[in-house]
Structure 1
Amino acid sequence: MPAIELPTSLIPADGRFGCGPSKIRDEQLAFLSSLQPTVLGTSHRQAPVKNLVGSVREGLAQLFRAPEGYEILLANGGATTFWDSAVHSLISRRSQHLTFGEFGAKFGAAAAAAPFLEEPTIRKAEPGSRSELLPQAGVDVYAYPHNETSTGVMADVRRAAGDGVDPGALTVVDATSAAGGIDFDASETDVYYFSPQKNFASDGGLWFALVSPAAIERIEQQTNGDRYIPESLNLAGALSNSRLNQTLNTPALATLALMDEQVRWINDNGGLSWAAARTAESSGVLYEWAEKSEVATPFVADPQHRSQVVVTIDFDDSVDASAISKALRENGIVDTEPYRKLGRNQLRIATFTAIEPDDVRTLTGAIDYVLERL
């Protein structure tokens, strides 16, 4: 028996609150099963698999309300792979990176390590806050996360603007934990890229990106042979293969299937505005709970910077947050631990689109129950 046993009324219907991989709905698994044996285990160069890829691409274009000329690309790998692809195939000379957590910093580090690029500008903010774009001559890519998964800080999707922004500069947004759960204006970005294991409730193994005509033109310019680019990182290959509804190497079919059903579910329920309202409701429950608590407080001080999809809550030194997570896990409520490198006395709770707001409400009751008994 667990040291603290929760009453049944305080156990959510689904106890998965991790920030990735995330909760997968039963309907997604049923759809995956329906593809056996006609799609699973068949050639990714033939119609059944290519039709599945095409369905995902079409669904994402609908979900993001893709402007005229924008396209959905996909390729093998995850967001980490995309950073290396962007370094080779998108940045001409110099980039500017906003870093307010682990993942924005990693893209900046990848650009800094490239011997064929100029030193990037890194605009760093302390965890729990965010930095802002600064117009800068000579910068041809402005890059930042829409949502920082490690800290629970959210940024607006906006282009760099004002004196000093070079014509043709691209806005490149890491949307891994935001896509499918936070609304945005696609015309404000040139590349909106992500892995599918967050709001899309899928698995890893692929990256996706919504790209503008300007980004496509940049890809074609940067991949004309003047710079060595490994084939697996060449975005020109991703562009040509995506247009054929395929990838360079065999894609993760289960990832595609889970994602296809999730995208269809979101679109059928009202699209991105519906998903954003749902995640805002769930995250709002947690922030309101923390603000009323005597021992907890939202980690992100500015309410305008707080994430809708990754909620970070600090606890007073009198409370051991790891003990809360441990007690919750013993009762089947899992993955509420903080980001490992942040090292704070906190909980980090996903409120992705697949997570039921009522389960989040039940979770707050469970935390209170545990706190009373620690």
Structure 2
Amino acid sequence: MLTFSAGPSKVYDSMPQYLQDAYEAGILSANHRSAAFMNLYREVHQLFCEKLHMPEEYSLLFTSSATENWEIITQSIVESASYHIYSGSFGKKWINFAQHINPETEGLKIEADQAIDVANLNIAEKFDLIAITQNETSNATQVPMEVLEEIQDKYPEKLIAVDTTSSMGGIALNFNLGDIWYASVQKCFGMPAGLGVLILSPRAVEQTERKGEKGRYNSLNFMLENARSFQTHYTPNVLGIYLLKRVLQDIPEIQHISSRLNDRMHQLEQCIIQTSSLRLLVSNSETRSKTVLGVTGTESLISEVKKAAEEAGMQLGSGYGPLKPTSFRIANFPAITDEEMDKLMSFLKNY
């Protein structure tokens, strides 16, 4: 079954070979204090710089998932309170996690078609961190890099944390526009689930050290202490880290991936627009994601399309939360080939 689910999503076709190579190389039994693992960690850090254009001075850490980073950020980085700008379910979950740890947390809920009005944004001085869901998987929206730049220009003294769970590895991110970036690998990295990444600017590291939070399993100071030696504070997902290395080695630089996905998303959008009964879930092109497309219609139509797609050997991603009955989502991730996307579009044209 060919899956277009927004995550876990289709893995790269080369994954079976990577897995076999990992076994033969003995990496599956590598101790996380060993030279073999430290070299692996160092290689992945360098590949993030080379392929995704992460600044050399930024720190790369491994977590269990993107979700774990919600807790780490509030627990170990935020000094007074964070301010969250969000439009969908995952952004809402992030602020709920943060409020559980720090009740002073506040935020701004915007609509899916609503661009962030930076000029009229009023974030109080007490908030030392701005949290933004750059690509909201649940409702297929995005915050463009240009908007992040405007926010950074307006609030240069505040740290900016960015959720790129379903965009890192798929679109070109300007890491200099934020201090904290995180993602999971089961989307644009084309890998099995079970590994998260957390990227920190020197400013974020400095604030973490100043706050000095320690004593928990995932205290960031503890993680950073180990990361300086290219080690982890816990027995990590060594296989996942190895697979991440292989993916990064084989993919082109991010600007080429981003260009390909942008072109393909335009074709996919036009396909939906030209159907007689399906509609784009997000009508504002500025806030519409480049890596996840939301499609809406009547409840009966959505059910019919999903069922027919399965009969044709394709799985569409369900809508999320309240959008589930009247929408489906299509992943436009790099591991999906152009030929596979063409097959899907040929199918959708019938509606």
- TM-score, length-normalised on structure 2? 0.91
Residues 189-216 of structure 1: per-residue CA shift (max 9 Å, x gap): 1111111111111233332122111011
Given the alignment, which residue of 325, 334, 340 partners 2:306?
A: 325
Partner residue of 1:99? 86
Q: Could you tell me how far 1:123 is from its partner in structure 2?
A: 0.6
The 1:333/1:238 distance shift into structure 2, 3 A limit, reads: same
Partner residue of 1:257? 242
The 1:252/1:132 distance shift into structure 2, 3 A limit, reads: farther
The 1:359/1:334 distance shift into structure 2, 3 A limit, reads: same
Residue identity in the other structure for 1:105: K
Partner residue of 2:158? 169
Indicate the SS of the match to 1:67: coil
Partner residue of 1:242? 227
Given the alignment, which residue of 2, 5, 10 partners 1:23?
A: 10
The 1:315/1:249 distance shift into structure 2, 3 A limit, reads: same
Does the alignment pair 1:88 with 2:75? yes
- TM-score, length-normalised on structure 1? 0.86
Task: Please say if residues 281 and 357 of structure 1, whose CA atoms lie closer than 8 Å, have aligned partners that are also in contact.
Answer: no
Residues 249-289 of structure 1: per-residue CA shift (max 9 Å, x gap): 221223222221221122xx2x1111111211221121111
Q: Could you tell me how far 1:135 is from its partner in structure 2?
A: 4.2
Indicate the SS of the match to 1:40: helix
Q: Give the length in aligned residue pairs.
A: 344
Residue identity in the other structure for 1:277: S
Residue identity in the other structure for 1:286: L
Task: Please say if residues 146 and 173 of structure 1, whose CA atoms lie closer than 8 Å, have aligned partners that are also in contact.
Answer: yes
State how far apart, in whole Å, the 1-side matches of 2:310 and 2:113 are: 26
State how far apart, in whole Å, the 2-side matches of 1:78 and 1:230 are: 21
Does the alignment pair 1:49 with 2:40? no
Alignment of 1:1-374 (within 5 A): 15-37=2-24, 38-67=26-55, 69-75=57-63, 77-114=64-101, 117=102, 119-132=104-117, 134-136=121-123, 137-157=125-145, 158-159=148-149, 160-161=151-152, 165=155, 168-223=157-212, 227=213, 229-266=214-251, 269=252, 271-316=253-298, 319-369=300-350, 371=351
RMSD: 2.1
The 1:206/1:336 distance shift into structure 2, 3 A limit, reads: closer
The 1:162/1:71 distance shift into structure 2, 3 A limit, reads: closer
Indicate the SS of the match to 2:139: coil
The 1:161/1:259 distance shift into structure 2, 3 A limit, reads: closer
Indicate the SS of the match to 2:323: coil
Residue identity in the other structure for 1:87: T
Unaligned runs of 5+ in 2: none
Q: Could you tell me how far 1:118 is from its partner in structure 2?
A: 5.1
Indicate the SS of the match to 1:182: coil
Indicate the SS of the match to 1:302: coil
Q: Could you tell me how far 1:109 is from its partner in structure 2?
A: 0.9
Unaligned runs of 5+ in 1: 1-13
The 1:15/1:281 distance shift into structure 2, 3 A limit, reads: farther
Q: Could you tell me how far 1:43 is from its partner in structure 2?
A: 1.8
